[in-house]
Amino acid sequence: MNNNRMALVAGVLIGAAGILGGLFLSGQTGPEARQQPAEEKPLYWVAPMDSNYRRDGPGKSPMGMDLVPVYASQRQAGVVEIAPQVVNNLGVRTTRARRDSLKQLIRTVGYVKYNEDRLIHIHPRVEGWVEKLHVKASGDPVARGQAIYALYSPELVNAQEEFVLALRRDNERLLQAAEDRLRALQLDDDFIAALKRQKTVQQTVTFRSPQQGVVDNLNIREGFFVGPDTTLMSIGALDDVWVEAEIFESQAAMVAIGQPVEMQLDYLPGRLWRGQVDYIYPSLEASTRTLRVRLRFDNADGQLRPNMFARIRIETGDNSERIIIPREALIRTGKQDRVVLALGDGQFKSIAVTAGRIAGDSVEILAGLEAGEEIVASAQFLLDSESSKSSDFKRMEPARTQAMEHDMGHDMEPGMEHDMDHDMDHDMDHNMEPGMEHGEGHVHD
């Protein structure tokens, strides 16, 4: 009887071992354990820690790890497969990332003003009275050498008398000193030459315009008493002009000195002026959070006049090449930017990218995408959603398998193993004939 019991126990153990072996073998033949056929060639190689890092052959990842081959028969996490008719129904349209320069057009407004480098302020060098004013209002055009005002000043009279006295004495040192004083008081060469010839002191001295331009900020009238601290007027040249414009704080890094600029005015529709950025002011306007930029334009025909309103276009960017994609292909979320790769054969995958500047309908990609890769430009939001769910489910599979194994091995209540052994022994004892558990039989005669 003891041998029969041993045989029954051995059968139970063999059955349990068969079940565990089946589970073990089935686990080893799962998707993760299958080997790639020897004849299949890798599509590309990726970094173990970053699937966006791809190369055409084996090598090292940026972290120093060996690149992992990816085969056509493998299904990556996040890859979505869509039937061709569904792709057509969704209206999926693709394009390729390209290398190109990124130029952005900034549109703003500005106002024409004088070129302040050529704006001359007129001050007398002596005190006196304005006897005659030859210009009547701001905006009057003047030519170089044209009379603008006449001044009576006792100091000017004394300076002329010293010069005439030096002439009569024929003293070269005194004559040179007197002439230098007249020049310092802004008397021109013609006036000094006439004084030398005539030797006659002028009570009223006429002053002339130092350049061709337009009178601005006229502050005097005839009879005014003026001195060196009095700004009589300003004369601005209009051969070229400045235009002051404002740009937003976010556009400040895009503008540089020398960039080309286009300008249009309402009073001459259809005409286009071309200039360049001349100066960028160092600080922002506190109230508007805008940055002032100064533009320079030629004005040979004098059509541009101060305080005219102008519409400005500034072309920013350089000729350096960078990765460019259409703006519509970029998926912007609160956490990251993404694009959808078109892998071919109806397969799509959403990947994270780092977006840079946006210029019109184009976006600069700083990281995550290579030139030539095919991406989805329409219906990408649906594909991105499906790809994200596919990736999430893929990540859940190992956890789910581990949880099942954990449940099978460790989720029994305390004492259940002992109860199972006790029940098995009880069943075996119950099926034995009476007296077998004692190890000996009784022979009845």
CATH 2.40.30.170 domain locations along the chain: 240-316
Per residue in 223-276, pLDDT tens?
A: 999 999 999 999 999 999 999 999 999 888 889 999 999 999 998 888 999 999
Percent of the chain with pLDDT over 90: 39
- Taking only the tens place, the pLDDT of each residue in 351-363 is 888 888 887 788 8
Q: What's the CA gap between 40 and 34, in Å, rounded?
A: 13
Q: At how many degrees (to 10) do helices 2-28 and 416-431 cross?
A: 140
**pLDDT, the chain, mean:** 79
Max mean pLDDT range (144-148, 312-316, 364-368): 144-148
Distance CA 221, CA 260 (A): 43
pTM across the whole model? 0.56
Contact between 278 and 271 under an 8 Å Cβ cutoff? The reply is no
137 vs 356, more confident: 137
Identify the residue with better confidence: 360 or 221. Answer: 221
pLDDT at 143: 93
Residue 218: band (very low, low, confident or very high) from pLDDT cuts 50, 70, 90: very high
| Architecture of the domain made up of 240-316 | Beta Barrel (2.40)
In the chain, CATH 2.40.50.100 covers 124-231
CB contact set of 185 (below 8 Å; sequence gap of 6+): 125, 126, 155, 156, 159
> For residue 429, is pLDDT > 70?
no
CATH of 124-231, one of 3.20.20.10, 3.40.50.10490, 3.30.1330.10, 2.40.50.100: 2.40.50.100
pLDDT at res. 344: 83
How far apart CA 174 and CA 156 sit, in angstroms, is 17
Rounded alpha-carbon distances, angstroms, from residue 17 to 5, 12, 33: 19, 9, 22
Beta bridge partners of 226: 128
Percentage helix, strand, coil, to 5, in the chain? 30, 35, 35
Question: Domain 90-101+321-395 carries which CATH code?
Answer: 2.40.420.20
